[in-house]
Chains A and B, each alone.
Chain A
Amino acid sequence: MRLLRALVVVALFVVAVYYGYRVFAGRPRPVAAATVTVYYCKTDGETLVPWKLTLGPARDRKSVAFYAATQAVAGPSSDIDAIRFPSGTIVHAVDVDGSTAIVDLGGALAKPTAGSFAESAEFKALVWTLTALPGIGSVQVKLDGIRVPTLPGGHFELDEPLSRASF
C-alpha cells in the first residue's frame, strides 16, 4: 500500500513536470520590456507627433505590431486635438510578411465615411507607427480581410502597401 502511494505520488509528479514543461516552453520567449513609438497626426493634416508606450513583457513581433497598430488606431487621449480613425474602428489582426505589416481593420472604418482630409492623415499615423518597429518598412491595409482600393466612398488609395514615402 505504501509502495502504491509512493508510485502514485511519483506518477503525479511526472505528469506535473510534463505539463509544466508544455505550458512554459510553449510560450514565446519574452524579451526585455519593449517600447513602441506611436504617432498621431495633428489637425493640420501634416504634423506627426510621436509618443512612446512601454509594453509589459514584450512578446513576439506580430503581437507587438498588433499592440502598436491598436494604439495608433485609438490615437492619443481625447483632450489632444488629433485626426482620428472613426470611433469604433477595430483592429482585427496584424500579420507580418517579410518587411510588410498586414493590418486588417474593420468596425466603423468599413462604413462609408467622411471626407478625404482625415483619411490620409489616419493612415499616415498608422504607417509611421508600424514602420517605426524594427524590420517593418511598409504596411498593407485590409478592410474586413479584403484588400480594397480605398475605403468605401473613400479617396485615399490603399491597394498597394504604404510606406513613409507614400505621404
Chain B
Amino acid sequence: MSRFRVRVSNGSPGPARPACWALVALFVLSIVSPARAQPAPNLWFAGTWLVLERSQTRGGEIAVPTDDPALARFLAHLGATLSYDPAQRYAIVTTADYRTIAFTIGDKRYAVGAVTETAPFAPYVSGGEAYLPFVALAEALYVQPVSQADATVLQPQIASLDVRNEGRVSVVTLHGAATLRFKRLSAGSDGRLSLAFLGTASTLDPYRDVAGDGLRSISISVGGSVRNPTTTVTFQAPPGGLHALMPAGAPNALAVAFAPPGVPLTGTPVPASGVASVAAAGPAPVPTASEQTTGEYAPAGANVPAAEPSTYQAPGYAAPAPPAPASAQPVQVVNFESEQADQGLNVRVWLAGGSVAYEWHRLPDNRWYIDFKNATLAVAPQDETLQNDAVLSLRLKQVTLDPYPVVRVALSLATPRLVNLVPFDGGVTIAVDRLDDLAPAKVGIGTLSAGVLAAATPTDQTVDQTPAPIVEPTPWKFTPVPVVAYAAPNPRLIVIDPGHGGSDTGAMQRGLVEKELTLDISDRLRSLLVARGWLVKMTRDSDVDVFEPNDSAHDELQARCDIANRAGARMFISVHVNSYTSGSLNGTTTYYYKGVDLSLAQAIHSRLIESLGTADRGVRKENFYVIHHTVMPATLVETAFMSNAADAQLLRSPAWRQKVAGAIADGVGDYAGAPPPKSSAPAETSDTDTPVPDR
C-alpha cells in the first residue's frame, strides 16, 4: 500500500489575461482569502462516514478547524486529546500512548514527538479557530487515507512493531492508531502464535527475522476489505516456549513476551481475544466455539498467576536492592573525610561489618546522594558548606534508623559533574570529577564488599537524556522542618478523619471503595483509642460529606480541619487508601507537612510497617490540604494501594484493617504516651466522644 494524499479540485483556471495581472491577482488572493469553503471528500472511518462539516481546503488539502465536532469524534475514537487555546500559537494533540503532535500556527513544520515533519500547508487561524492539515494529523495518529472510487477510507494502522531482548526473553511491542482489539487465531505447541487485529491495516514489512532466544520471526499479512481490514501478525517462537501479555502502558499498545523453553515468564497468558489494555484485563476469557483456535495455550504452570496480571520481570532486570533481612547486622560508617582532588573532591567513607547495598541518585538540580542500606552512623553526622569549585556542600546523615537503618551521603554540586564510586579496602571513595554536561539524572544500585563494587546499574537509558538546567539548589527533602510548639487546648482529644465520604467516594478499584474502607478503619481506631482513655472526635461517622452534600472541595476539606482546630485537638489523623492507574505500586506511606507533624507521622509509620506486612514507602512530606490547614500535629496515612492485587487482598480482610487501626493506636501511644487524666481536659459534648466498647 502506498501513501495517498487527499486532494480536492480547486476549479479551472480563469480566462487568459495578461500575465502580470494574473500573478498579482493570485498573490493578493493568496493573502486576503487564503481558504475557501469546499466540500470535504467523503471520508470513511471506523465503520461510518466522517463528515468534517466545517472544513476548508487549502492548496487542495483538507483544513479542519479545531472545534469541528467530527474531528472531536475522530480523536475520541483514537483516544487522543487536543489542546488549543486561541491565545497560543500551538495546537497540540496528545495520543493515547502519550505521543504529542504539535502544530504551530503559521508554520508548515510540525513535531511528532521529537521528529519534525512538514505539512502541505501551515495551520492558520480563521474566525477564532485554528485550521489544521487533517491528513498530516491523521497520518501522525497512524491513520492512513486510502482512496477508493466513492470515498477516502481512513485506515487505522499498526504502525510500529519493536522487538527488544531482555536476557533470554524477547518482548514485542506493537503500537496502533486506536485501541488494539485482537483475536487469537492459533497458539500451539509448534511455537506459533497468530493474532488477528480487527479493523486495522498495516504497511509494515511482511516478514522480519528476530535474533532472539525467545522469538525467531514475525510475519504480517493484511486481509479483509479496505473499509474493514484485518492485520494478522504471526510470531514464530521455538517450540515449547512460553508467551504472555505484558503491560504496555497504553490502550493502543500491546506487548507480548516470548521465553524459550525452560525460562520462566510471568504475565497474563495471551487470551483468545481481547483488547490491548493488560492492566484492565481480567482472567483470560474462555475461547468460544466459533473461534478458530487451533491449539491450546499452555501457561507457564505455577509461574503464571491465573487472574492477576503482574509486573513482568525479565532476567537481568535490575531491581532495587531489597532491604537486607532484619537479622543481618548493620554495617557501620566508621570514618568520613573529604579532600580536594585535581578536578573536584574526593569523599572517603570507611565502612565496617561486611558488604553493604547502596543506591545512588543524581537529581536534575545537581544534587547527588548515595544511600548505604542497613547501615548506621558510628561518627557524628556532618553538614558542611565547602570552599570547593565543584561541591557546594556535603552532608552525612542517618536518614532512617528504625525499622531499617540507612546512612546517606549527599553532595550539592556547583555544576553537573561526573561522580564515580571507587572502592578501597576499608570502604569507598565518592570521587567528584570533571564537568559532565551530558550526564542525566540517574539512579544506580549495587553492593560493596571487601573493596569490590558490584552491579552498579544505571537506569533510564531509554530517554533522550539531556542536562538539566542549573537551578538554585532546593532544600533537602530530609531537612527537618522547624518545629513550632503546639499546646493543645484539649490534650485528651484526638480527631480522626476518615478520608472522603458522601458524594466523594475517593478511589474505587477492584471492587473496593476508599470512603468505605477509611470509615471502617477509623471506626476501629476510635474504639481502640477510646478504650485506651482518649477522647475521640470523628470528622464523619457515617457515609456523608462533612460540610454538606455535593459541596466544594474547599468547604469539604476545610470543614474537616475546622472540626479539629475548633475542638483544640491534640492530634489529627486522616485515614486514606491509595490507588494508582497500574497495579505495580504497593505499600504504606505516612505523610506529614508541618514541623510538628513529623514525629507523630514517624511514630505511626514505624508501627504500621512493623505490623502490616506491606511495602514501606516511607514517611513523606507533602502539601496535603488537611494536614496543612490543621494547627495541631497531623498526619495522613495512606494505608495501602487498592490498585495492587496483594494490597487489595489485605484491604478486604477485616482482620488486617483491625491491624491498621491497632498500629495507628500504638503509634499514638509511642508518640504521646498515655492520655492525660480527665481533670486536665474540658469535657467534650459530642456523642462521638462517648467511649464505645472495644470490638
Check: B187 CB closer than 8 A to any chain A CB.
no
**Mask: chain A, 152-167; 1 = CB below 8 Å from B; 0 = not:** 1111110100001110
Contact across chains for A73 and B500 when beta carbons are under 8 A apart: no
Q: Kindly state the separation between the CA atoms of A75 and B253 in the bound complex, as whole angstroms.
A: 16
Q: Kindly state the separation between the CA atoms of A43 and B578 in the bound complex, as whole angstroms.
A: 14
Instruction: State which of A12, A66, A84 has its C-beta within 8 Å of the C-beta of B24.
Output: A12
Contact across chains for A50 and B87 when beta carbons are under 8 A apart: no
Check: B347 CB closer than 8 A to any chain A CB.
no
Query: Which residues B463-522 have CB closer than 8 A to chain A?
Result: 463-469, 471, 474-475, 477, 500, 504-507, 509, 514
Contact across chains for A47 and B31 when beta carbons are under 8 A apart: no
Contact across chains for B364 and A48 when beta carbons are under 8 A apart: yes
Q: Which of B198-206, B284-292, B619-627 contacts A (4 or more CB under 8 A)?
A: B619-627
Closest-CB distance, B488 to chain A (whole angstroms) = 24
Size range of the interface on A? 35 or more
Contact across chains for B104 and A149 when beta carbons are under 8 A apart: no
**Mask: chain B, 439-466; 1 = CB below 8 Å from A; 0 = not:** 0110100000000000000001011111
Check: A20 CB closer than 8 A to any chain B CB.
yes
Tell me the dominant secondary structure on chain A's binding face: mixed
Contact across chains for A28 and B581 when beta carbons are under 8 A apart: no
Q: Kindly state the separation between the CA atoms of A144 and B644 in the bound complex, as whole angstroms.
A: 31
Contact across chains for A114 and B507 when beta carbons are under 8 A apart: yes
Contact across chains for A116 and B361 when beta carbons are under 8 A apart: no
List of B residues within 8 angstroms of A131 by Cβ:
471
List of A residues within 8 angstroms of B170 by Cβ:
none
Contact across chains for A57 and B466 when beta carbons are under 8 A apart: no
Closest-CB distance, A130 to chain B (whole angstroms) = 12
Contact across chains for B28 and A94 when beta carbons are under 8 A apart: no
Check: B628 CB closer than 8 A to any chain A CB.
yes
Contact across chains for A50 and B466 when beta carbons are under 8 A apart: yes
Closest-CB distance, A137 to chain B (whole angstroms) = 10
Instruction: State which of B504, B578, B623 has its C-beta within 8 Å of the C-beta of A112.
Output: B504
Contact across chains for B98 and A76 when beta carbons are under 8 A apart: yes
Q: Kindly state the separation between the CA atoms of A131 and B364 in the bound complex, as whole angstroms.
A: 13
Contact across chains for A117 and B578 when beta carbons are under 8 A apart: yes
Contact across chains for B579 and A164 when beta carbons are under 8 A apart: no
Contact across chains for B622 and A48 when beta carbons are under 8 A apart: no
Contact across chains for B466 and A51 when beta carbons are under 8 A apart: yes
Instruction: State which of A56, A70, A118 has its C-beta within 8 Å of the C-beta of B104.
Output: A56
> Given A67-B92, A153-B504, are A77 and B106 neighbors across the interface (CB < 8 Å)?
no
Contact across chains for B363 and A47 when beta carbons are under 8 A apart: yes
List of A residues within 8 angstroms of B28 by Cβ:
12, 15-16, 19
Check: A7 CB closer than 8 A to any chain B CB.
no
Closest-CB distance, A118 to chain B (whole angstroms) = 6
Check: A97 CB closer than 8 A to any chain B CB.
no
List of B residues within 8 angstroms of A50 by Cβ:
364, 440-441, 465-468
List of B residues within 8 angstroms of A116 by Cβ:
576, 578, 591, 622, 624, 636, 638
Query: Which residues A44-100 have CB closer than 8 A to chain B?
Result: 45-57, 59-60, 62-63, 66-67, 70-71, 73-81, 83-84, 86-95
List of A residues within 8 angstroms of B102 by Cβ:
67, 70
Task: Spell out A's residues near B (CB within 8 Å).
Answer: 5, 8-9, 12-13, 15-16, 19-20, 23, 27-28, 35, 37, 39, 42-43, 45-57, 59-60, 62-63, 66-67, 70-71, 73-81, 83-84, 86-95, 107, 112-118, 120, 128, 131-132, 148-157, 159, 164-166
Further contacts, 18 of them, CB under 8 A, given A19-B28, A150-B557, A165-B475: A12-B25, A27-B106, A28-B89, A42-B460, A49-B463, A50-B466, A51-B463, A62-B87, A63-B88, A66-B92, A80-B249, A91-B83, A91-B92, A115-B643, A116-B636, A117-B589, A150-B625, A155-B624
* Sample of 28 A–B contacts (CB below 8 Å): A9-B21, A13-B24, A35-B466, A49-B364, A49-B460, A50-B467, A52-B464, A63-B88, A73-B83, A78-B99, A78-B249, A79-B462, A81-B584, A92-B83, A115-B506, A115-B578, A115-B579, A116-B624, A116-B636, A120-B622, A128-B364, A150-B553, A152-B504, A153-B500, A153-B553, A156-B623, A156-B625, A164-B471
